[in-house]
Structure 1
């Protein structure tokens, strides 16, 4: 049996093919969980699942092409995961997209897309796993918000709206589902070096971002994944409705900081 803090647990990780999601998938498998890798990026997601299964010599991960904004896709994903690995006990609602835009010029199609992926996706995910978790005595839902879900930043009015919404939904769901042993918490990463952030400026953006972080570096996906392991494990059994920043200290300041 593989040692680890998540042995015997079954997890779904959305946006699990690349970046932060892939790091979470790897960390979950390393800690003993069986993982459904859910993403629209089929080639990358399948390659990751194949790699992890080959390393383990067993089916420890399975890729499923999944649209988080589609309710039917959620139902199929949860049913398939329950059948293949067992009841879902961890949901990492990690999938998200970032589009910058000013109030007066934000493209409305991009705004709607961010709503569907960043906000509607986690809502549908929570609803899809709640019945399974309730039936099986509980579970852990981890919703990806952002530092832009804790404070505002120019150019992120639409993006921030979705991330503040995730923060609010998390707290409401924590109250509703806690009585069934289901914990719901939100994670608020700062600037993390992933394909999603690199597309907006590459190395120059990373260097600028690092200059604004008290630790003077941007985060890596591997900095975030251990928090997801902790929140998915029984070690966090009394943490519910919390918002946890993992940002190198960015939100530990005020308007005169930096």
Structure 2
């Protein structure tokens, strides 16, 4: 029999999208799946929607609003699967994701995380985000996996779950750093099997507003790793500074051109008048 997969869906005030998210989970072609939804202190409208959807899923857990990390930990604690797959309430999977991800993680013990290319959906367009297969050195620079990813329940236990102090975002990145600290890699299926909505009020949007505060938290929390890979980290910071400086120089060049044009155009017009 196939190993049981527990799909954990934290939900906070997402009445509009949660039904699609749940349907994408229960309609996976893998077969042996339990879907657990954690209502993280949602409004009454969302609670009403979840109540109607409850017969479709294995468990609906309700708690006060504590953030995504807490909701995921609670969902996993109440699950029974050997493998865990997180899914945000405003996102959805292609029906083949679990089958493809399981064939990868079960055939290579060095693979700790499996996700895929991401179909990023905004109001006006969609784009494909292509992460790369990565190890701990790469994850010290950036998060190279989506939050909706497959991993072993035993690895979640080993690293102590998600950091519930991280209520403002980047909790996935922190979790993956700890998960890969002892070795292993993150694998990316080279197909856009995750639909990811970009919304002004989404967790990732809010996290980007606190970007430097969250970066400081991660850098200090994993100080030992950054010291161990000091040269890699320095090269990363310098490359980021170089990108910023190039952008600033480009903007200054454009500004100087516009200013020069505004100053010189009237002079040229005066000259043209005298030529007449």
TM-score, normalising length: structure 1: 0.33
What's the TM-score, normalizing by structure 2? Answer: 0.32
Which structure: greater strand fraction?
A: 2
Asked which structure has the greater CA Rg, the reply is: 2
